[in-house]
Amino acid sequence: MITLDTIMQGILLGGLYALFAAGLSLVFGIMRLVNLAHGDLIVLAAYLILVIASVLGLHPFLAVLVAAPVMFAVGWLLQTHVLNRVLGDDLLPPLLVTFGLSVVIQNALLEGFSANSQKLAAGTVETQSLQIGSLMVGVMPLLTLATAAIVIFALNRLFYTTALGRAFRATSDDAVTARLMGIRPNRIFAIATGLALVVASIAAVYLGMRANFDPSIGPARLLYAFEAVIIGGLGSLWGTLAGGIVIGLAQTMGAAVNPEWQILTGHIAFVLVLLIRPRGLFPRAND
């Protein structure tokens, strides 16, 4: 039966999905670009962390500090040299390019690391748990949710209290007028994709410590992320956290009834939210 424990597990799982989705939400919010390679970029970041951790002998939490700036650079270069060329009124070219990128990343990882499953070894923290009231809560899932909340809080602060955030929002509203204000949209987009891949690196470290990963799992992560973004309301960061939690809750509740239903109930929840609130739970007023 669905117990308090199941609900808690669902909320905590939602933290991981929100981390998957935050980068996607950021990029969509600023440049209306649906990055179909987002899941694969998370997996790419997970392999990068794996390599850094094994070569330098670092704990994954330290390795991600090295991987994040590298992924920022990857995002910057990707946006500057590839995605900025295809952004425009037509939504199809960026979709096709990011779809192609997804295939390229998967095959490159397959070539480089084989199809064998990998895992980031986090040590004892993986199995530690805390007693909260009558519940035993895993430290790792708790850290994941806390990190998701911190990441989304930080992105919100960036968006609403800094000059860069102002430029993000202005460019998102009207890129032509933003240029008249001295803003260079292509540069703003490059920073945004760089930031999205920093967030993807943070998602990757939790993905890799929580479960096995291999080069083919990106598209499924993209699907959860995409559903979380849509449930939350396109472009709303706190909505994305809520969306992640909705999917996490639905999956754990489904699994509690019948373990085979876990993935299915997540997707059903997505469809139900779309039916009831087609613009998501927290849509932006001007979308």
Partner 1 sequence: MSGHFLEMRGLTAFYGDFEALFGIDLHLDAGETVAMIGANGAGKSTLMRALTGIVKIGSGEVALEGERIDHLDAPDILLKGIATVPEGRRLFPSLTVEENLLIGAHARKGDGPWNLQSLYELFPILHERRRSPGTALSGGQQQMVAIGRALMSNPRVLLCDEISLGLAPVVIKDIYAAVPRIKAVGTSILVVEQDIGQALKVADRVYCMAEGRITLEGRPDDLSRDAIHDAYFGVHA
Looking at beta carbons only, is 267 or 284 nearer to partner 1? 284
Contact 118, 43 (CB under 8 A): no
Looking at beta carbons only, is 59 or 166 nearer to partner 1? 166
Looking at beta carbons only, is 116 or 286 nearer to partner 1? 286
* Distance of alpha carbon 209 from alpha carbon 195, whole angstroms: 22
Site for partner 1 contains 89 (CB under 8 A): no
Contact 46, 207 (CB under 8 A): yes
Looking at beta carbons only, is 170 or 264 nearer to partner 1? 170
Contact 10, 253 (CB under 8 A): yes
Least Å distance, CB 167 to partner 1, is 6
Least Å distance, CB 191 to partner 1, is 14
Q: Give the footprint of partner 1 on residues 158-187 (CB under 8 A).
A: 163, 166-167, 169-170, 172-174, 176-184
* Distance of alpha carbon 244 from alpha carbon 14, whole angstroms: 4
Least Å distance, CB 179 to partner 1, is 4
Looking at beta carbons only, is 187 or 267 nearer to partner 1? 187
The DSSP result for 2-48, as a single string, is --HHHHHHHHHHHHHHHHHHHHHHHHHHHH----TTHHHHHHHHHHH
- String of contacts with partner 1 for each residue 121-160, x by CB under 8 A: ----------------------------------------
Least Å distance, CB 183 to partner 1, is 6
Distance, C-alpha 238 to centroid of its chain: 13
Least Å distance, CB 189 to partner 1, is 14
Least Å distance, CB 166 to partner 1, is 5
Query: Tokens 């994941």 appear where?
Result: 144
Looking at beta carbons only, is 203 or 229 nearer to partner 1? 229
Report the phi/psi class of residue 10: left, alpha or beta, with left for phi > 0 and alpha for psi in -120 to 50: alpha
Compute how many residues bind partner 1; rule: CB under 8 A.
20
Looking at beta carbons only, is 149 or 164 nearer to partner 1? 164
Task: Spell out the alpha helix ranges (H) of the chain.
Answer: 4-31, 38-56, 60-78, 84-86, 92-113, 139-161, 163-173, 175-180, 185-210, 218-232, 237-257, 262-276
Least Å distance, CB 149 to partner 1, is 23
Q: Which residues bind partner 1 (CB under 8 A)?
A: 163, 166-167, 169-170, 172-174, 176-184, 284-286
